[in-house]
């Protein structure tokens, strides 16, 4: 069974008869299999983030279906969708969104705080292991302000992995980084995906980043098309 499937998904904002009505996505079909990696390209405002939010259950389609393991996300309660996001999906954004008053280790542990009793000893150990995997074991007790941009993004990646997700969604993860740091972040994401069997979707407007993935999809005028090999 496919992990995630989008069937004829459309997303619009505003009332159809109103002046503010905007169709963002039109008839999107997409299948994401376990362990698969892909890049989604498109200019600013093309709906890339909207598409990622639908896959990540942050938003719901206007029409069509988003299926997770065959279950329609729209039929889930908000609590069920929140649990799915917390346990199965990791999010990495253009900005790292680290809490400046927390250490790198504490930031990685943030998604575990929803559990009763706070972070467990195994969670703390896993957080330390993840920081080691992203090359920041020695910075575990450092505040974000003492880390470089690339290091902060690596902490954000470790945070996205703390609950052992099956899918990692990265929205312009290199957009605020220099070329060398950007390449390092993408290499790390691909390595983690391969080692852990994670599905990985990276949204980007950078051709150099997209070329590190296969397949590559392009979003234009609300429609998604796959690049030919």
Q: Give me the half-sphere count of Cα atoms (radius 13 Å) on the Cβ side of residue 181.
A: 15
The C-alpha torsion from 67 through 221 and 45 to 23, rounded to 10°, is -70
Q: Which two tokens stand for residue 90?
A: 């990791």
What mean pLDDT is reported for the chain?
91
Domain map (residue ranges) of the chain? 4-226
Contact 73, 151 (CB under 8 A): no
Please check the confidence at residue 118 and state whether its pLDDT lies above 80. no
Secondary structure class of 151 (helix, strand, coil): helix
Q: Output the pLDDT for position 95.
A: 84
- Give one word for 95, left, alpha or beta, with left for phi > 0 and alpha for psi -120 to 50: beta
CA distances for 55 relative to 52, 72, 104, 221, angstroms = 5, 11, 28, 19
pLDDT band at 110 (very low <50, low <70, confident <90, very high): very high
According to DSSP, the residues that pair with 39 across neighbouring strands are 202, 216
Tell me the average pLDDT across 26-49: 92
User: According to CATH, what is the number of the domain 4-226?
Assistant: 3.40.50.300
Please check the confidence at residue 1 and state whether its pLDDT lies above 70. no
Q: Output the pLDDT for position 92.
A: 92
pLDDT tens by residue, 121-178: 899 999 999 999 999 999 999 999 999 989 999 999 999 999 999 999 999 888 777 8
Residue whose pair of structure tokens reads 């929205």 in the numeric block: 171
Q: Output the pLDDT for position 177.
A: 79
Percent of the chain at pLDDT > 70 equals 97
**Distance from C-alpha of 169 to C-alpha of 160, rounded to nearest angstrom:** 9
What's this model's pTM, rounded to 2 decimal places? 0.90
**Distance from C-alpha of 132 to C-alpha of 124, rounded to nearest angstrom:** 13
pLDDT tens by residue, 42-81: 888 889 999 999 999 999 999 999 999 999 999 999 999 9
Please check the confidence at residue 2 and state whether its pLDDT lies above 80. no
Contact 103, 141 (CB under 8 A): yes
Q: Which two tokens stand for residue 16?
A: 């159809």
Q: What is the DSSP string of 157-217?
A: HHHHHTT--SEEEEESTTTTS-HHHHHHHHHHHHHHHHHHT-EEEEEES-HHHHTTSSSEE
Which of the pair, 180 or 63, is modelled with greater confidence? 63
Contact 202, 39 (CB under 8 A): yes
């Amino acid at each position: 069974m496919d992990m995630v499937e989008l069937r004829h998904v459309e997303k619009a904002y505003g009332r159809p008869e109103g002046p503010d009505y905007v169709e963002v996505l039109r008839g999107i079909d997409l299948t994401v299999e376990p362990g698969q990696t892909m890049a989604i390209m498109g200019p600013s405002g093309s709906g890339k983030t909207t598409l990622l939010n639908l896959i990540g259950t942050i938003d719901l389609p206007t029409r069509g279906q988003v299926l997770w393991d065959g279950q329609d996300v729209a039929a889930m309660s908000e609590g069920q969708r929140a649990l799915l996001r917390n346990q199965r999906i990791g999010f990495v954004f253009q900005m790292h969104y680290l809490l400046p008053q927390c250490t790198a280790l504490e930031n990685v542990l943030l998604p575990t705080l929803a559990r009763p009793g706070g972070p467990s000893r195994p969670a703390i150990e896993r957080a330390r292991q993840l920081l080691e995997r992203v090359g920041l074991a020695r910075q575990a007790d450092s505040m974000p302000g003492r880390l470089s941009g690339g290091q902060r993004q690596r902490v954000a990646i470790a945070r996205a992995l703390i609950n052992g997700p099956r899918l990692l969604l990265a929205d312009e993860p290199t957009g605020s980084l220099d070329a060398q740091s950007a390449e390092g972040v993408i290499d790390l994401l691909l390595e983690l995906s391969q080692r852990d069997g994670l599905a990985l979707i990276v949204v980007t407007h950078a051709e150099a980043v997209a070329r590190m993935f296969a397949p590559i999809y392009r979003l234009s005028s609300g429609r998604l098309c796959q690049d030919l090999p």
